[in-house]
């Protein structure tokens, strides 16, 4: 029977650990604070913000929400981010993306101080991941994949890990993080041949799926006894939320579930862990800032 790797116990454990750290920071006069920058009222942003605010309250993190019009100019947005960089009371900044089309997203992200970049959007943070240095933070979803594996006791050392997807948000950073844990990593993307994709999937001990295609990863692309981390959040043809992996959570012992040792469900898997990781990064940023004083 496959083990269902749910996100909630992972998120709850992280929250308890960081709440203690938040208390210690507050006792020394530092209130860990996250600034959320939102342009307009995109439903996805509002719903993520709601979850983040709830998680922040549990973790002892203050949230400062900055809401601007969606037609705000790039110059004004950059000026706001520069102000947040200078504000000592703000330790982490989350900018909701995608930004509206008239704004050069990369230019805006680059203005953020990597020390406050708690979701890995600056090249400073990405360089930090690639160089194993202490600059910035990895993107929360990539970090959440590793948190899931750690929590459920799956050591990556010497394991064959196949990462499906090579985005800067998930695929590439997770490759570097798995390599840092001494995994042997294979990465697949849209130009990988179907034959190589299936071979890389079948041959792995651990599969991390982040292609963003509903149930694209089928039984014939996977092997026996694997640990599968499904990062995908997609809508299927019936408007139902599903992952990238063709796993039927209603019938977990059939199909892929009959062969996998463990798998993260969608929903209630990796997605449930990202806001806890976000708060962990804020606490970490606050600790680093306190050390610098
Ligand atoms: P993305 O930027 O669209 O990247 C998708 C990656 O998958 C690309 O590298 C692409 O290859 C590859 N790919 C696409 N179609 C493929 C195919 N048919 N065969 C092989 N590779 C293929 O997506 P993303 O931002 O990384 O997100 C991936 C998934 O994670 C989405 O479902 C997203 O909703 C979900 N997500 C979840 C969370 C969470 O909290 N759990 C957070 C963020 C995103 P190329 O590079 O060659 O184009």
pLDDT at position 207 over 80: yes
pLDDT of residue 1: 85
Confidence check: pLDDT of 29 > 80: yes
**Res 98: pLDDT:** 97
Q: Which of 170, 198, 272 for mutating ligand 1's site (highest number of atoms within 8 Å of CB)?
A: 170
Cα separations in angstroms, 25 against 77, 115, 207: 30, 17, 37
In eight-state DSSP terms, residue 100 is P
Q: What is the pLDDT of residue 274?
A: 98
Does residue 96 register a pLDDT over 80? yes
What is the C-alpha R_g of the chain?
19
Average pLDDT over residues 274-285: 98
DSSP state of 168: T
CA of 212 to the centre of ligand 1 (A): 4
- Does the beta carbon of 189 lie inside 6 Å of ligand 1? yes
Instruction: Specify the CATH class of 28-113 in words.
Output: alpha beta
The residues near 246 (Cβ < 8 Å, ≥ 6 apart) are 215, 216, 217, 218, 219, 255, 256
* pLDDT over 90 (residue 292): no
Average pLDDT, the chain: 97
Cα–Cα distance, 196 to 26 (Å, whole number): 52
Q: Which helix (H) or strand (E) holds 62?
A: strand 62-68
Residues 103-121: tens digit of each pLDDT = 999 999 999 999 999 999 9
144-155: average pLDDT: 98
pLDDT tier, 161 (very low <50, low <70, confident <90, very high otherwise):
very high
pLDDT: which is higher, 105 or 293: 105
* Banded model confidence at residue 251, pLDDT cuts 50, 70, 90: very high
Q: What is the pLDDT of residue 265?
A: 97
Best CA proximity match to 244, nearest among 259, 256, 226, 261: 256
User: How far is residue 54's CA from residue 240's CA, in Å, rounded to a whole number?
Assistant: 25
If you measure from the C-alpha of residue 170 to the centroid of ligand 1, how many angstroms do you get, rounded to a whole number? 8
Under the banding of pLDDT at 50, 70 and 90, the label for residue 293 is confident
Give me the mean pLDDT over the 115-140 stretch: 97
Whether the CB of 167 sits within 6 Å of ligand 1: yes
Is the beta carbon of 51 within 6 A of some atom in ligand 1?
A: no
- pLDDT tens track for 67-88: 999 999 999 999 999 999 999 9
Asked whether 142 lines ligand 1 (CB < 6 A), one says no
CB 282 within 8 A of CB 288: no
Q: Domain 140-271 falls in which CATH fold?
A: Rossmann fold (3.40.50)
Report the pLDDT value the prediction gives residue 126, as an integer from 0 to 100. Answer: 96
Helix, strand, or coil here: 253? coil
What is the pLDDT, as a whole number, of residue 290? Answer: 94
pLDDT of amino acid 270: 98
- Banded model confidence at residue 276, pLDDT cuts 50, 70, 90: very high
Asked if 28-113 and 140-271 have one fold, the answer is: yes
Taking residues 209-219, what's their average pLDDT?
98
112 near 85, Cβ under 8 Å? yes
Burial class (CB in 10 A: 0-12, 13-18, 19+), 249: middle
Give the mean pLDDT of 271-283. Answer: 98
Which pTM was predicted?
A: 0.97
CA–CA distance, 147 with 150 (Å, rounded to integer): 5
Indicate which atom in ligand 1 lies nearest the CA of residue 197: 20
What are the residue boundaries of the structural domains of the chain, listed by start?
Answer: 28-113, 140-271
- Helix pair angle (8-27, 140-151), 10° resolution: 110
Residue 235 CB–ligand 1 contact under 6 Å: no
């Amino acid at each position: 029977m496959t083990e269902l790797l749910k996100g909630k116990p992972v998120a709850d454990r992280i929250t308890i650990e960081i709440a203690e750290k938040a208390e210690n920071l507050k006792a020394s006069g530092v209130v860990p604070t996250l600034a959320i920058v939102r342009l307009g009222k995109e439903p996805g942003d509002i719903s993520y913000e709601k979850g983040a605010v709830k998680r922040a309250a549990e973790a002892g993190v203050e949230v400062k929400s900055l809401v601007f019009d969606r037609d705000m100019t790039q110059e004004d947005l950059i000026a706001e981010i520069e102000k947040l960089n200078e504000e000592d009371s703000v330790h982490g900044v989350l900018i909701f993306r995608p930004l509206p089309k008239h704004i050069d997203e990369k230019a805006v992200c680059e203005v953020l101080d990597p020390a406050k970049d708690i979701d890995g959007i600056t090249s400073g943070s990405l360089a930090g991941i690639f160089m194993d240095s202490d600059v910035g933070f990895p993107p929360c979803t990539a970090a959440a994949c590793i948190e899931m594996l750690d929590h459920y006791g799956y050591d990556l050392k010497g394991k064959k890990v196949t990462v499906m997807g090579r985005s800067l948000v998930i695929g590439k950073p997770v490759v570097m993080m798995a390599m840092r844990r001494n995994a042997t990593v294979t990465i697949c993307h849209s130009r990988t041949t179907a034959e190589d994709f299936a071979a890389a999937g079948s041959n792995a001990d651990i599969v991390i799926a982040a292609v963003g295609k509903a149930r694209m990863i089928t039984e014939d692309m996977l092997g026996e006894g694997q640990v599968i981390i499904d990062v995908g959040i997609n809508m299927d043809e019936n408007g139902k939320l599903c992952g990238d992996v063709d796993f039927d959570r209603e019938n977990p012992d059939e199909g892929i579930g009959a062969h996998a040792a463990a798998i993260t469900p969608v929903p209630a898997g990796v997605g449930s862990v990202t806001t806890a990781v976000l708060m962990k990064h804020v606490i970490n940023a606050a600790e680093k800032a306190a050390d610098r004083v």
